[in-house]
Amino acid sequence: MPENDQAVQQPTGPQFSIQRIYVKDASLETPNSPQIFTKKWQPEINLEMNTRTTPLSPEHFEVVLTLTVTVKNEEDTAFLVEVQQGGIFQVAGMNEQEVGHTLGAFCPNLLFPYARETIDSLVTKASFPALMLSPVNFDALYAQQLQQKATPPAEQH
């Protein structure tokens, strides 16, 4: 056998690849239209985010980033839009901490621009001004989640 047959073996070290990115769910509600269009536009924007990871195999994971945006104008809800942006990722050759960071911060960071574009598209199709959400620091959010899990709840007396 030639000596270079070992080069054909599986690669070692960390492996990451995007298998698929897709919209899992999207909804838009404009409960106060058309009256909302007659008011001066001074929006109050509230953004809620959530991520969910589902193992599909030992090396494949679905990560779903859910963004819910509620916009009020003069106390009336102008619109509520929710997008679940999904992705299937291959993650291998990493320790548990690296896998956790990849799925909890890196993957949501990859999904966010897709979800943001879907939200902007839905909002403009509903005849509202464009809504380009600011970037999110998923690394900081993930670190905060880890810290909250590591801190025991305060004892109640």
Domain boundaries, the chain: 15-129
Confidence (pLDDT) at 23:
98
The predicted-structure confidence for 26-72, as pLDDT tens digits, reads as follows 999 999 999 999 999 999 999 999 999 999 999 999 999 999 999 99
CA atoms of 104 and 24, how far apart (whole Å): 18
Sheet strand arrangement including 43-55? 15-29, 76-92, 60-73, 43-55
Q: Does domain 15-129 have CATH number 1.10.1760.20?
A: no
The confidence band for 155, taking pLDDT boundaries of 50, 70 and 90, is low
Give me 136's structure tokens: 């999110």
pLDDT tens digits along 85-104: 999 999 999 999 999 999 99
Both tokens of 94, joined, read 């990493």
What is the pLDDT of the chain when averaged over all its residues?
A: 91
Q: What does the DSSP 8-state code read for residue 140? A: H
- Of all residues in the chain, what percent carry a pLDDT higher than 70? 89
pTM: 0.85
Distance, CA of 78 to CA of 97 (rounded, Å) = 42
The pLDDT of residue 132:
86
DSSP state letter for 105 = I
Which of 19-23, 60-64, 144-148, 153-157 shows the lowest mean pLDDT across its residues?
Answer: 153-157
